[in-house]
Amino acid sequence: MAVPSYFTTGEKIAHYSLRVFVMLVLLFLISPIIAVMPLSFNSESFFTYPMPGYSLKWYEDFFFNDRWTGALRMSFFIAICTTILATFLGTLAALGLARTNFPAKSTIMAILISPMIVPVIISAVGMFKFYAQLDLASTLLGVILAHTALATPFVVITVTATLSAFDKTLMRAGASCGAPPHTVFFKVVMPLILPGMISGALFAFVTSFDEVVVVLFLASPEQRTLPLQMFSGIREMISPTITAAATVLVLFSTALLVTVELLRRRSEKLRGVQA
Amino acid sequence: MAMAQALPSDGVMRAADGTPLKVALARAERRERLKALGLVLPLFAFIVLSFLVPIFVMLYNAVYDPDVAENLPTTVVALQQWDGKDLPSEEVFAAFAADMKKAQESKMVALIGKRLNYEISGIRSKVIATGRKVGAIEAGPYKDAVIAIDKIWGEPETWATIKRSSSSYTPFYLLAMLDMRQGVDGSIEQVPADRAVYIDILKRTLGISLLVTFCTLILGYPVAYMLATTPQKTASILMIFVLLPFWTSLLVRTTAWMILMQDGGVFAQFMNVTGITWVMNLLGVMDGPPELFKTRFATVVAMTHIQLPFTLLPIYSVMKTISPTYMRAAKSLGGTPFYSFIRVYMPQTLPGVAAGCLLTFILCLGYYITPALVGGPTDQMVSGYIASAINTENNWGKASALGVILLIATLILYYVYNKLVGIDRMKLG
């Protein structure tokens, strides 16, 4: 973008210094991620530039060592179970809340999204103590339940947002054409709110997949997830495999969230909202 | 008057099945409401049972601590008569000896010692030793026999502490968070300076959160401005730089900073290459090469990096709605660009600034992972102390009291945020 010709010298200086400042901030935002990725190809196990040589051995360790593959599998399993539960419960609740005249709507909404508000350490410690009394601590079920509680607010919020623009006359139109309620839901409502449901599901997945504080308290070595494996690795001595793991995770979460963004656009288009 | 003709003779409108329309409508609405409740109920019950109840049960430990009252039951009853001035009566010592014998059998002595140790340093081992030796006391007088085991039982303060713990409900932990305690006579007093640590922790948490919020605002505001004013095409490319780190997991970003901030690591190399190290040494801010790992500086940099998008995005979305004609109007009325910006543009961005800063501040208060990995021992915040109270001290009272304070602060700020922005409209990226 060129500077307009009518700008004074002062304005030009302000304009260019703003641009330089913004570029530096953007560099600051992106640099840690960009700086760490090449280190994962380092042939030696230290973290400085220049690198003496290139190697894929840290990726080999990440993809073939049982400790890491086990953690990856565990993370996927927990995250998928969490996603299914959270999407189901969250979508139902959002559908209920979207109906008119819902009593004490804002209070119930506040309670439903409280897991997003309470500092995660309090949630982790509280659930740890309570689940331990129910013999749920250090079990797969305990971790999944805890993650589901943390993940549902995201589903509730995204589906509620999609429903807020949903034209309710479509449901009446469906009903007046003789469709029973479940047909109306699956043939009319569901296709329209599906983008919201999927992005809610992806948020739920990412929440569980990245979560470390709750598993730190609630999980035993048998439920060692990827973040837990990373966390326990870096506390003592950083293994370069962590840089490989970080790179894979960055690419993975980017792919997931690009999907969310595309879905959001599609949903806006479907609802006729001007982007 | 077609309407009037349609009305039945008694003047009541009826549905097809003959029920009055009013009744039928109310019934339909009730059915609708029940259906809605039925949809919300599963999640509501799940959140309450799996999330809220555990948190309340845990936080209850901040005021509920039955360890002493349950394990020295007759002692605390006998102590009710004690005036707190001199040593308690023989009766109290007899009850104490009996209680300790029982506690030794049921292996509860260590628990009593642990609890009393929170208030009297070093008493733990003495209680345990007393538990071992108390069985040897066959008959009275108990007073001399018990004091003979350890001098600590000859101190009125020891008994005052036990008397204070005689109820299962104690203000001890919450008072301790404010560096206060109950004195021998039950009045509230400051704790000695060497035990006063909690106000410092709270101040530090607030200080780091404020500093990070300020940094994100200073860095984020110009970026938001540029994103909102450049053409859409450029803006969407620049937006990637904001969203990519936003989408990356917190642990990964913290790990990245941990690796970069190592002594002699990439960040230090960067400072050396760009001459920042040289300037810093010249100014006397630093001495020799940068040592950043486990410092406050590293903590604030990493937290600012992680929180920057949270501050920036709400400001950006408000700026997007400000029409450029306002600035043109201000300039055409003779305002200098700087004056117009300050007086016309900035006030309109305040809702976004408030929303972004408040969100960042709230999230900062609860930070645990980043200070734990990038910061040193003196950079830990409230969450870190909650974790270590449980992991290393197994002190649930302390963890819960810290949790109560953190939660209350968070809830108050969220209440403000909700009034300001609406919580369900929170940006999810």
How many Cβ pairs closer than 8 A exist between chain A and B?
Answer: 257
Within 8 A of B35 by CB-CB distance, chain A residues are 96, 99
Any domain includes A60: no
Res. B1: pLDDT tops 50: no
Is any Cβ of chain B less than 8 angstroms from the Cβ of A122? yes
Domains of chain B, by residue range, sit at 19-52, 67-168, 198-425
Q: How many CA atoms lie within 13 A of B262 on its CB side?
A: 15
Query: Residue B345 gets which letter from DSSP?
Result: I
B16-30: pLDDT as tens digits: 777 888 888 888 888
For the residues B209-235, what does the mean pLDDT come to? 93
Helix (H) or strand (E) holding B182: strand B180-182
Res. B429: pLDDT tops 50: no
Res. B408: pLDDT tops 90: yes
Write the single-letter amino acid at B359.
Answer: L
In this complex, do A18 and B226 lie within 8 Å of one another by their Cβ atoms?
A: yes
Tokens describing residue B311 = 């501050």
Is any Cβ of chain B less than 8 angstroms from the Cβ of A237? no
* 3-class secondary structure per residue, B98-109: HHHHHHHHCCCH
Start-to-end Cα distance in chain A:
23
**Which pLDDT value is given to residue B275?**
83
Is any Cβ of chain A less than 8 angstroms from the Cβ of B111? no
pTM of the model: 0.86
Measured distance CA(A72)–CA(A74) in Å, rounded: 5
**Which pLDDT value is given to residue B159?**
87
Q: What does DSSP say about strands B180-182 and B188-190: parallel, antiparallel, or unpaired? A: antiparallel
Lowest mean pLDDT among B265-274, B382-391, B417-426: B417-426
Q: What is the mean pLDDT of each run of 10 residues along chain A (275 residues)?
A: 71 87 92 85 78 84 88 94 96 86 81 91 93 90 95 91 82 88 86 86 90 90 88 76 87 80 74 51
Query: Beta strands of B187-297 (E only): which ranges?
Result: 188-190
**Which pLDDT value is given to residue A148?**
96
**Which pLDDT value is given to residue A62?**
87
Length of chain B: 429
Any domain includes A209: yes
Is any Cβ of chain B less than 8 angstroms from the Cβ of A59? no
User: CATH classification of B198-425 is 1.20.1300.10, yes or no?
Assistant: no
B152-204: pLDDT as tens digits: 888 888 888 888 887 888 888 888 888 888 776 667 888 877 777 889 999 99
Q: Predicted confidence band at B74 (pLDDT cuts at 50, 70, 90)?
A: confident
CB atoms within 10 A of CB A80: 14
Is any Cβ of chain B less than 8 angstroms from the Cβ of A186? no
**Which pLDDT value is given to residue B21?**
86
**Which pLDDT value is given to residue A274?**
44
Lowest mean pLDDT among A222-226, A250-254, B135-139, B220-224: B135-139
Lowest mean pLDDT among B88-102, B212-226, B368-382: B88-102
Within 8 A of A10 by CB-CB distance, chain B residues are 337
A54-102: pLDDT as tens digits: 888 888 888 888 888 999 999 999 999 999 999 999 999 998 888 766 7
Any domain includes A125: yes
Is any Cβ of chain B less than 8 angstroms from the Cβ of A16? no
Among A22, A145, A209, A261, most B C-beta atoms within 10 A, so best to mutate, is A22
Residue listed under structure tokens 């953190």 = B406
For the residues B251-276, what does the mean pLDDT come to? 85
Is any Cβ of chain B less than 8 angstroms from the Cβ of A137? no
**Which pLDDT value is given to residue B221?**
95
Q: Which domain holds residue A203?
A: 68-271
In this complex, do B241 and A26 lie within 8 Å of one another by their Cβ atoms?
A: yes
Lowest mean pLDDT among A78-92, B76-90, B222-236, B369-383: B76-90
**Which pLDDT value is given to residue B184?**
67
For the residues B289-313, what does the mean pLDDT come to? 90
Tokens describing residue A247 = 């790179």
The helix/strand/coil state of B181 is strand
Identify the CATH number of the domain in which residue A105 sits: 1.10.3720.10
In this complex, do A32 and B260 lie within 8 Å of one another by their Cβ atoms?
A: yes
Measured distance CA(B363)–CA(B381) in Å, rounded: 12
Tokens describing residue B164 = 């204070």
Number of domains in chain A: 1
In order, the DSSP letters of chain A are: -PPPTT--HHHHHHHHHHHHHHHHHHHHHHHHHHHHHHHTTBSSS---SSPS-B--HHHHHHHH-HHHHHHHHHHHHHHHHHHHHHHHHHHHHHHHHHSTT-TTHHHHHHHHTHHHHS-HHHHHHHHHHHHHHTT-TTSHHHHHHHHHHHHHHHHHHHHHHHHHT--THHHHHHHHTT--HHHHIIIIIHHHHHHHHHHHHHHHHHHHHH--HHHHHH--GGG--HHHHHHHHHHH---THHHHHHHHHHHHHHHHHHHHHHHHHHHHHHHT---
**Which pLDDT value is given to residue B367?**
93
**Which pLDDT value is given to residue B2?**
46
Write the single-letter amino acid at A58.
Answer: W
**Which pLDDT value is given to residue A84?**
96
C-alpha A107 chain-centroid distance:
25
Query: Residue B135 gets which letter from DSSP?
Result: G
Query: Residue B9 gets which letter from DSSP?
Result: T
Closest residue by Cα to residue B204 from B359, B378, B363, B387: B378
Any domain includes A256: yes
Within 8 A of B248 by CB-CB distance, chain A residues are 33, 249-250, 253-254
Q: Predicted confidence band at B7 (pLDDT cuts at 50, 70, 90)?
A: low
Is any Cβ of chain B less than 8 angstroms from the Cβ of A157? yes
For residue B51, give the nearest of A90, A149, A249 by CB distance. Answer: A149
For residue A47, give the nearest of B265, B403, B423 by CB distance. Answer: B265
Radius of gyration of chain A (CA): 24
Residue B298: which region, alpha, beta or left (left: phi > 0; alpha: psi -120 to 50)? alpha
B97-110: pLDDT as tens digits: 888 888 888 888 88
- Decide which of B383 and B334 is more confident: B383
Any domain includes A148: yes
